[in-house]
Amino acid sequence: MDLNRALKNNRIFRALTGISPEEFQSLLPVFTQFVIEVALSKQNRKRGYGGGRQGNIRNPEKKLFFILVYLKTYPTVDVSAYMFNSSKTRVAEWVVALLPILEKTLGRTLSLPKRKISTPEEFLSLFP
């Protein structure tokens, strides 16, 4: 997915992320700071920050875009992997790694929809 193209179209950006490009730019410095802090705090680093293999979402701007798109559209890992030109495993790792960083950035906990509903009673309690 092309972040720069999405940033140029306010309507599309809001549809993908739920926020405006201006709000995205205001979140970015804090999110970047937390991404760097998490990367530097990892134990047993063999290389400095930014060293090693580069993933498909290299910079904090693309990481923030990915996690916002994921939360807004809530696609399966297959769809996310296709949209961001990656593997299902890597997409799942990104969600696990980036969701806490976004929560720290926003200063609140985010909750994802429940994936499995096992009984009709549970369905009715969740969707009255």
Q: What would the pLDDT profile of 16-60 be if each residue is shown by its tens digit?
A: 999 999 999 999 999 999 988 887 777 666 666 566 666 778 889
Residues 6 or more apart from 9 whose CB is under 8 A from it? Answer: none
The model's pTM: 0.77
Burial 8-46 (b: 16+ CB within 10 A, else e): eeeeebbebbeeebeebeebbeebbebbeeeeeeeeeee
Lowest mean pLDDT among 31-40, 67-76, 93-102: 31-40
Q: Apex CA 78: angle with CA 74 and CA 79, to 5°?
A: 50
Determine the pLDDT at residue 114.
59
